[in-house]
Amino acid sequence: MKDMFKLDGKIAIVTGGAGGIGKALALGLGIHGATVVVSSRNQGAIDAVAAEITQESGNEAMAVSCDVTSEDSMKDLIDRVKEKYGRIDILVNAMGMNIKHDAFEYPISDWEKLFDVNVKGSMIACKAAGRVMREQNYGSIINLSSVRGIRGYTGGNSGYCATKGAVELITKALALEWAPLGIPVNAIGPALVITPGTRHIAEDPELAKKYASAVPMGRIGLPEDMVGACVYLASEASGFVSGQTLYVDGGLTAQ
Ligand SMILES: NC(=O)c1ccc[n+]([C@@H]2O[C@H](COP(=O)([O-])OP(=O)(O)OC[C@H]3O[C@@H](n4cnc5c(N)ncnc54)[C@H](OP(=O)(O)O)[C@@H]3O)[C@@H](O)[C@H]2O)c1
């Protein structure tokens, strides 16, 4: 019972692992005992995160570049992890992007780019890692949704909201298909989190106040706030939980 959150000996892949949230999750999984494979398109960035995980946790970490929109690139990542470790226990899909446009002017080429990464990329990664987990009869998948997956938002976010709504339903549909195989599929749904892409909000006192006051707990989220949910969903502590999104949002979606 006391070891139910331990990830010792588990092999975890974190896509988007050098991003604001992905890096915190990759480090958190490593500190809780997992061997982490950090992935994104930028080899230099993932090498740096892998080195930091090893330094902070004492656990081995590996960096393998991958473009989640390409099945060939994903196959290469999965093959390399299988070759090195023989298994994949945890997949965290922390990659993602946003492209904001007024809905009347939304270029469909940008809409497609957004769906390519957030929706197609999530499915490609789930499908590839899920096949390995099917062979093992074991594994756990965690997608990154958003409060914007269940709450609309202004400010040019129609495309982003649509992709995150899709991530919510990919999570539920795969959870149902794969429940008999012992593969839980869940998601984390953050509200605004301060990352390099959103730092300008934290640095502007007026904007920071506006965003913080919309959150019942009165502050903006930090990447570290997401770690507990990820460790829980990756570990045996959540063994009977599937198809759920855990909103780590300071109470925002309780409204
Ligand atoms: N920050 C927030 O306020 C917030 C709130 C709710 C939900 N989320 C969600 O949480 C996740 C992480 O967000 P974040 O703020 O940490 O974003 P971020 O800092 O921009 O990181 C995104 C990561 O995705 C990777 N990526 C982008 N396109 C990729 C592709 N085609 N193939 C592989 N990797 C790709 C990027 O690396 P490369 O460019 O090197 O490939 C980067 O590591 C996203 O799904 C986001 O929608 C964020």
Using an 8 Å Cβ cutoff, are 55 and 31 in contact?
A: no
Domains in the chain: ranges and CATH: 11-250 (3.40.50.720)
Between CA 64 and CA 78 the distance in angstroms is 9
Which of 153, 160, 211, 232 is an active site residue? 160
DSSP per-residue letters across 14-57: EETTTSHHHHHHHHHHHHTT-EEEEE-S-HHHHHHHHHHHHHHH
What pLDDT does residue 34 have? 98
Q: Ligand 1 within 6 A of 94 CB?
A: yes
| Ligand 1: nearest atom to the Cα of 163 | 47
Using an 8 Å Cβ cutoff, are 131 and 71 in contact?
A: no
> Residues in the chain with pLDDT < 70?
none
What pLDDT does residue 2 have? 82
What the block records as the tokens of 1 is 């019972």
User: Ligand 1 atom 45: the closest Cα is on which residue?
Assistant: 96
What pLDDT does residue 3 have? 92
Pocket-testing residue among 21, 72, 124, 168, ligand 1, by greatest number of atoms within 8 A of Cβ: 21
160 included as an active-site residue: yes
What pLDDT does residue 1 have? 76
Q: Ligand 1 within 6 A of 128 CB?
A: no
DSSP per-residue letters across 99-166: ----GGG--HHHHHHHHIIIIIHHHHHHHHHHHHHHHHT--EEEEE--GGGTS---SS-HHHHHHHHH
Q: Ligand 1 within 6 A of 26 CB?
A: no
Distance between Cα 20 and ligand 1 center (Å): 7
Between CA 213 and CA 21 the distance in angstroms is 22
User: Ligand 1 atom 9: the closest Cα is on which residue?
Assistant: 144
